[in-house]
Structure 1
Amino acid sequence: MSQRQVLSHLVEHQKIADHDIDQALHTSKVYPSAHAWPAFIIQLLLWFGSLAVVCGVIFFIAANWQDMGRVVKFVFLQSLIVISVIAYLRLEKKTLFSQVALTSAFILLGALMAYFGQTYQTGADPWQLFFNWALLGLPWVIIACFTPLWLLFLVLLNLSLSLYHDALGALLPFGIGRENSLIWSLWLLNNSSLLVWELRRHVHPWLNQTWFGRTLAVATVFNASALAMMAIFSFNTSSFGGLLWIALMAFAFWFYWKRRPDLFMLALCCLSTIVVVVAWFAHLLENALDVYSLLFLLTIGLTTAATMWLKKLMKEFSHA
């Protein structure tokens, strides 16, 4: 239970007097102290400054494209990557400054590969650029132990899969057609990442970032919901997508309710359930009169029921 939840529980049961609530908020560090603000501002400026430098380098090359020689462009980009790596080696490891330095090197690597591909025409398919970028930068991603960098790595893999399917068609075997092969591939990638995060987040403290797991969960549930919708409306697909969605929702509701309570995850599952159930009824009642009124009432009823259930769970979780 977080400090905020503990304090909320104490206030709700009148364990803390009204005139002491403000002091309790500062003592429990729910409200940041005066010393925490400079550290936050330093981190914020560090991120903004790093992104500004990286973007400035890319825009500088683009603006002076005609005036710079091929060798100058390569040397300029490679020098910045080397400087970023040297900065990481000189700084204390596993600190924000060193991780930002390696993240900057990873982003500059993508700029270098894009320029290399454009100069020598190494491939006509865009997916190769993002896949090779992720592959070559993987050692830095592993070394950095930095969740934002891992997220960027997964974004590149998702983008590579999407572009691969647009260019070359289905990736998965077993008779899965091109129409839903992309969604299956993305679901396998994101669901595997979420599973690894759940299994390893307590082993590696740097990985135990709630926002990271929830981002992976949003991608996983979105892909599973898309498969269920495709199965409902029969976009040249089989019913396996619907069965997968049912199994995933059943497991997610059990896991994030009984095993590891997480209200956000349950709310996400409720949203997916509402969307898929309404879509299923829309398909069944497509020829019925006043179908939109029925779907409107169904949506209101499911949303109300989900809200009441989640509010009840919120109280249970706060008392646990």
Structure 2
Amino acid sequence: MAAARRELAALIEQGVIPPEQVVRGVEVAGLHPSPRAWAVFIDRLLLWLGGLALAFAVLFFVAYNWAEMGRWLRFCLVQVAIVLAVGIAVWGKASPTVRRVALTAASLLVGVLLALFGQVYQTGADTWQLFFIWALLTLPWVWVARFELLWVLWLGVLNLAIGLYFRTWGGPFGVLASSEAAQWGLFLFNTLALAAWEWGAGYRGWPRQWAVRLLAVGSGVPITLLMITLIVDAGLIWSPVLAIYPLWLAGLYGVYRFWRPELFMIAGGCISLLTVATLLLARVLLWEGDWQAGSLLLLTIAVFAMGAGAVVWLKRLHREIAQ
């Protein structure tokens, strides 16, 4: 559908389809979902909402009735829910969508079980260990399901484990073992995950779409925050991020401009670069409390100019990619 939409937009821009025939062209291209497509969408939406609601209902039921329930009843309730979810997933007559919903619910319930175990027995373990064990225990289900949403959920749990670990222990990176260690860990992990997913999409037929974009955001936000922290707190001193950030921008542009064209990724890089450039210009013009009207006006003009230039360039790039 995305390819058909781009092709139709190109025909409209080239004048092949006159304005009065645009509505007819959209109908012929099949861009509007049919009643059957709407029915399938609503059916799957309700199935997902119901499955997730049941999984969270177990959590809230145990939490609300904590004082009235013994420890064994709490564990039995959560474990029975996990067994039922896994049983539905391996049931031969279940549809692929039902299996995915069941495995997703079971993965969430594993986290509930681990949280319950830690709350009941007060093991004294660090928080990151809960999320790491959660990711470790659910990895076989995620691997068997081969489902995009479940992989993203698993990566999110592992992101939490990595972030909490580096915030607790700093890390073995020497000069990087500081308050920014968690951001470095998230950046490296999400960048590697993005590269692995792109390899799988290119050679194994993995789905791309929103999952790859979410991983790109997970890679771009930490490195941008590292640059912001450097500019605000440390100033213009040497830091590894000064070398890695330009390499990240160059790699992002090279991959998603020439190898696998993707306007969303390049636009995200533009937002990151504009944010860093604006903050750097503000530090040069407005630091040390020198808030003069001329400096504020110059900063405003620079932001508008950079934003307008990025929009014009992205629109030109969009036309090139669509051709």
Q: Is the 8 A contact 1:9 1:318 kept in 2?
A: yes
Pairwise mapping of residues 234-245 of structure 1 onto structure 2 (< 5 A)?
234-235=233-234, 238-245=238-245
Q: Is the 8 A contact 2:78 2:109 kept in 1?
A: yes
Aligned to 1:43: 44
The answer to whether structure 1 residue 5 and structure 2 residue 6 are counterparts is: yes
Equivalent-residue separation in structure 2 for 1:124 and 1:91 (angstroms): 39
Aligned to 1:158: 159
Residues 110-133 of structure 1: CA deviation (Å, up to 9, x unaligned): 101111111111234211111111
Return closer, same or farther for 1:5/1:92 CA change in 2, 3 Å cut-off.
farther
Equivalent-residue separation in structure 2 for 1:25 and 1:34 (angstroms): 16
Aligned to 2:308: 304
Q: Secondary structure at the residue paired with 2:179?
A: helix
Cα distance, 1:264 vs structure 2: 0.8
Cα distance, 1:155 vs structure 2: 1.3
Q: TM-score, structure 1 length as denominator?
A: 0.92
CA RMSD across the alignment:
2.0
Q: Is the 8 A contact 1:229 1:242 kept in 2?
A: no
Return closer, same or farther for 1:91/1:28 CA change in 2, 3 Å cut-off.
farther
Larger mean CA deviation between 278-287 and 123-132 belongs to: 278-287
Q: Is the 8 A contact 2:85 2:102 kept in 1?
A: yes
Cα distance, 1:19 vs structure 2: 5.0
Aligned to 2:277: 277
Q: Is the 8 A contact 2:167 2:179 kept in 1?
A: no
- Unmatched segments (≥5 aa) in structure 2: none
Return closer, same or farther for 1:292/1:144 CA change in 2, 3 Å cut-off.
same
Aligned to 1:247: 247
Q: Is the 8 A contact 1:227 1:242 kept in 2?
A: no
Return closer, same or farther for 1:141/1:24 CA change in 2, 3 Å cut-off.
same
Aligned to 1:118: 119
Cα distance, 1:179 vs structure 2: 2.1
Residues 92-118 of structure 1: CA deviation (Å, up to 9, x unaligned): 688221111101000011101111111
Cα distance, 1:59 vs structure 2: 1.1
Quote the sequence identity (%): 35
Return closer, same or farther for 1:34/1:17 CA change in 2, 3 Å cut-off.
farther
**Residue type of the alignment partner of 1:292:** L
Aligned to 1:194: 194
Q: TM-score, structure 2 length as denominator?
A: 0.92
Between the two proteins, the alignment pairs up a number of residues equal to 317
Aligned to 1:104: 105
Q: Is the 8 A contact 2:88 2:94 kept in 1?
A: no
Aligned to 1:315: 319
Return closer, same or farther for 1:217/1:93 CA change in 2, 3 Å cut-off.
farther
Return closer, same or farther for 1:26/1:122 CA change in 2, 3 Å cut-off.
farther
Equivalent-residue separation in structure 1 for 2:17 and 2:295 (angstroms): 52
Larger mean CA deviation between 291-300 and 270-279 belongs to: 291-300
Return closer, same or farther for 1:44/1:91 CA change in 2, 3 Å cut-off.
farther
Cα distance, 1:189 vs structure 2: 0.7
Residues 28-68 of structure 1: CA deviation (Å, up to 9, x unaligned): 22111121111100110011101111111111111221222
Equivalent-residue separation in structure 2 for 1:218 and 1:171 (angstroms): 23
Larger mean CA deviation between 248-257 and 296-305 belongs to: 248-257
Aligned to 2:185: 185
Aligned to 1:83: 84
Cα distance, 1:228 vs structure 2: 1.9
The answer to whether structure 1 residue 136 and structure 2 residue 133 are counterparts is: no
Q: Is the 8 A contact 2:224 2:276 kept in 1?
A: yes
- Unmatched segments (≥5 aa) in structure 1: none
The answer to whether structure 1 residue 229 and structure 2 residue 233 are counterparts is: no
Larger mean CA deviation between 103-112 and 58-67 belongs to: 58-67
